[in-house]
Amino acid sequence: MPSEFISWRGHRIHVTESGQGDPLLLVPGLGNNIEMWVPFMQQFMNRRIIRLDAPGTGLSSTPLYPVTLPQLADLLVAVLDDRDAPWTDVIGFSYGGAVAQQLAFDHPTRVRRLVLAATNCGIGAVPGWLPAVTGLATPLRYYSPSFFDRTAAATFGGVTARDESVRQRMIAARRTHPPAADGYAMQLFGIVGWSSWRFLPCIPHETLVITGDNDPLVPVANARILADRIPHATLEIVEGAGHLFLWDDAENLGRRIGRFLNRALPRTASDPPPRARTRRRYHRSVSRAAV
């Protein structure tokens, strides 16, 4: 599994690539490191998986100032250039879903299909449950197994809340390369004031908006907002799933997302969709199935 560092605007960014096939870029959530993707990425054995540690997380360097979401979108382009990938399918999780929205808007030709998982539009979104949201103010859950175990149910819901063995597996992955406290703070500051509300109708890609109905952090209403405003979006709600559903129910979510990514394309892979600004067409459906 090739793993290396690239230099980007004075930052040292950890990037890894594995597998063969069409490229699939995984955009991480707040404080996440590359290792946390392992259960989910194993569901895509026919794909060339590209992962990175965002500035301040994992093995990447810690910035001295916040890196904004438009800048993070530019970072993703730099990663794709380094990997010699002119286009890619993109899965953005939580915080990474916000970055993925920005990437699709700012650099539409680099994205083929877009998956937005457990995420929202920033300013204009429906707030999550207050105790869960305030718990994100600290990276302590990455350092203290007891703290994560004690707060995971209220913060994340879903399988993580119901299955102690899953929590123990997640604790191990989180502690491999926990985010630096100042790096975590820089991520939080980087999203302050951000919103995709105004540009969502300009995202031209086929998009899967997928969420769990037991997510204390990102209520289902936020997925509906994204699916309503992105012209070519499909909405899928997973019953009983929580915020960490890509990892605590990886086989189920891999199957669902794989169906979307692997269906027949209306265009060739070498001809990604152009930026669309004048015409809107809605394609929304809701799929519910027990976890």
Q: Calculate the alpha carbon distances from 29 to 58, 99, 201, 280, 288 in Å.
A: 12, 9, 23, 29, 24
Q: Are 17 and 49 in contact (CB under 8 A)?
A: yes
- Write the DSSP string, 171-208: HHHHHHSPPPHHHHHHHHHHTTT-B-TTTGGG--SEEE
Q: Is 3 a catalytic residue?
A: no
Q: Which of 94, 144, 195, 270 is catalytic?
A: 94
| 195 class by beta-carbon count within 10 Å (0-12 exposed, 13-18 middle, 19+ buried) | middle
Cβ atoms of 128 and 217 within 8 Å: the answer is yes
Structural contact between residues 91 and 185, judged by C-beta atoms closer than 8 angstroms? no
> Catalytic residues, which ones?
94
